[in-house]
Amino acid sequence: MKDFRNAEMIKILETAKITNRNFSGRVDDYNEKGERKFTLILEDPELIDILIADGWNVKTKETAPDEPIRAYLPVFVDFNNPKYLPKIVQVTEKNGKQKAIQLTEDNVGSIDAADIERITVYVKPKIWYNRATKEPGGIKAMLSKMYFVLIPDEVEDLYIKNPYNDEDGIELPFEE
């Protein structure tokens, strides 16, 4: 029996790529339970080997013999269990200034359609157990922290003079 107790939180660097985003938890053909989750594309062969050896739920796809292995990690987002409560921070950059907003369970669904420039993801292990044998079966990836930068929106520039106003967040280019 494999010992998963030594699994630690891991950081996927700024080169992280995510797909199959369902932060809103919408029910669809591939998500009958309405779980909040996304898929993390893994590109570092060394990290892939480590995660597989440690028992993480890494999925792989067949590729041509001359291509590197394609691997991905399903990552779950849980706002109901304090042990796995994620910190998700959206950053926008404008004229050398940054604005950070910590997303909550109520607005995290906005990531589903966001144009992301770069992202850093931290996942922590959740050991799952085989129902029949009651023995540890592997490690499920739970989102711990995520910081991402949005691609600047040129249309927003037409309407918002100073989106980083310290007083109330935004300043509109017309009188109210």
Domain ranges of the chain: 10-159
The distance from CA 96 to its chain's CA centroid, rounded to whole angstroms, is 25
Which pLDDT tens digits describe the chain residue by residue (176 residues)?
Answer: 455 555 566 777 666 789 999 999 999 887 888 899 999 999 888 888 888 888 899 998 877 788 777 899 999 999 999 999 999 999 887 777 788 999 999 999 999 999 998 899 999 999 888 888 888 888 999 999 999 988 887 777 666 665 555 554 444 344 44
Burial class (CB in 10 A: 0-12, 13-18, 19+), 36: buried
What residues does 94 pair with on adjacent strands? 97
Strands in 104-150 per DSSP E: 116-129, 136-150
Of the options 1.10.3210, 3.30.200, 1.10.150, 2.40.50, the CATH number for the domain spanning 10-159: 2.40.50
